[in-house]
Structure 1
């Protein structure tokens, strides 16, 4: 595989983050270790996991092995993990974080996120404040959130006085969350897309397929490039070395204004929209 240099973004605390990450959801065990090493060979330096994924240990093992082999340095890596609902709250958050850190086997994580706001629990603000306290000791470089909508993000910022470095949300062709992105821009929050390929639905769109054919690129490359040109960080996941290389190919071309307008027009179109959980409703009163 040919490693590419990935462009980075300056976070609102001054640190740099590669704009293309490697998602690890549902990649576990030996497959996770292999995939991470192959991703490093392909040029990925930004790795995304979570306590929910049950692969922090394998991710950490693969990263440490790559560092020992001289394939990468710890300073080049940007490692993100997330706290699940059962770790929310001022009391439980420190234990949840340090459990993740032990599983990763790292001295610090580059970014720690609240995985879902869980508004029914009413703990996301105190959870974020607890994360900030740990950040002060150097075990966390940056703190952020995931799956926060405009209302919840505004409440977090106004209540805690702390602005997250990023908000990782569902974002893809047909669901670019423009109002949320505008709020992010106002506060200097990076928009990061999980499910940037929309679970495959946008890749079947005739207009997107036509753009891909004209550019002699794959549909996935066009979908990822579209988000990249909107200034969105993407964390596609795959366990295939060929797909890792293909996804990195999004850096090799540029969409023109007409291409971008066609793809932006998919927002709100039939068959498009949110495909996952509503942050206001998930996971409900049960919690976790």
Structure 2
């Protein structure tokens, strides 16, 4: 018999819709991001998220916490069997390990740390156009997919020119493009290109690391008051209504629960439009044309 906490987690998980991908798979629209959490600290964070009902965890080799993530999955039983099948697990390749053979070796290392037999999505972390190896890297990822060790292939931070180059070299569009996306940096050209080619958009820093909570001289707060929710929930709801996959990060159990609880209200058209109008010219993170996450 399920305990009350288990029932609550199951109910929370059930509220999160899946986003259909171009490869036939489906990803939970809300996941937990674990960037900038130390390896020793990430285990309880992931455990509390799984307990709250998260069934999508977004990790990366470059975060240097795959070991802690793996320990959390093992401790909760989400690394094998029936429980593993209920979880969408993403990790990403280090930029320094791009290339065919090096990507295959890197993936083996990630699986050992994660203590799983497969990942749901493996991603190229940055396009590094100044040292382009995404075509060869993609071929390695495709082999992992053919071997059943990866279900879905994705990229992060790819601009339209990078997506087109990858397609020219491999004949494939990725299933997902994970990009910096929030009310003050909406990347509408990237989003439009992705939609045109059937690529799902996933937003990291969906609240600009908290900066967008105060965007627009109180616009977000006013909408939050009208719906009796938090400003964070308003921004996440805006993403949900846009069909965007989101991976908000929180190390606090209650905030993790709030970030899942965005399906009990709907933004009015004028409210959604007011958030659309917050778009600005300045990103909060790094420029894909110059950055590498080694």
Answer yes or no: is 1:228 the counterpart of 2:237.
no
CA contact under 8 A between 1:66 and 1:72: conserved in structure 2? Answer: no
Are 1:74 and 2:84 an aligned pair?
A: yes
Larger CA deviation: 115-124 vs 25-34:
25-34
TM-superposed deviation, 1:251: 2.1
* CA contact 2:30–2:245 (8 Å) conserved in 1: yes
Tell me what 1:176 maps to. Answer: 186
What is the rounded CA distance, in whole Å, between the counterparts of 1:229 and 1:131 in structure 2? 31
1:218-244 per-residue CA deviation (whole Å, 9 max, x = no partner) reads 010001111111010000111100110
TM-score (norm 1): 0.93
Change (3 A) 1:228 1:93: same
Please state whether the residue corresponding to 1:91 is helix, strand or coil.
helix
Distance 1:264 1:72, change over 3 A: farther
Aligned length: 282
Give the superposition deviation at 1:153.
1.0
Among 42, 59, 66, the alignment partner of 1:32 is 42
Alignment of 1:253 with 2:265, yes or no, is yes
Tell me, yes or no, if the aligned pair for 1:149 and 1:180 is still in contact at 8 Å.
Answer: yes
Report the RMSD for the aligned CA atoms in angstroms. 1.8
Contact 2:177 2:200 survives alignment (8 Å): yes
1:10 aligns with 2:5: no
Of 163, 176, 194, which aligns to 1:166?
A: 176
Aligned CA distance change for structure 1 residues 263 and 89 (closer, same or farther; 3 Å) = same
Judge conservation of contact 2:59–2:91 (CA < 8 Å) in 1.
yes
TM-score, length-normalised on structure 2? Answer: 0.92
Matched residues in 2 for 1:175 and 1:150: separation? Answer: 16
- Aligned equivalents of 1:72, 1:248: Cα separation in 2: 23
Contact 1:221/1:246 (8 A) holds in 2:
yes
Q: Cα–Cα, structure 1 residues 72 and 262, in superposed 2: closer, same or farther, change >3 Å? A: farther
Q: Is the 8 A contact 1:83 1:115 kept in 2?
A: yes
Give per-residue Cα distances to partners, 1:194-241, cap 9 Å, x unaligned: 000112121012111111111111010001111111010000111100
What is the 5 A alignment of 1:126-145? 126-145=136-155
Find the counterpart in structure 2 of residue 56 from structure 1: 66
- Report the Cα offset of residue 68 of structure 1: 6.9
User: Are residue 146 (structure 1) and residue 153 (structure 2) matched?
Assistant: no
- Which residue does the alignment assign to 1:46? 56
Q: Does 1:96 align with 2:96?
A: no
Equivalence for 2:285: 276
* TM-superposition CA deviations, 1:62-113 (whole Å, max 9, x none): 1122127999711110000000111101121111111111111100000000
Cα offset, 1:28, TM superposition: 2.5
Is the alpha carbon distance of 1:265 and 1:68 closer, same or farther for their aligned partners in structure 2, counting shifts above 3 Å? closer
Quick check: 2:220–2:231 contact (8 Å CA) kept in 1?
A: yes
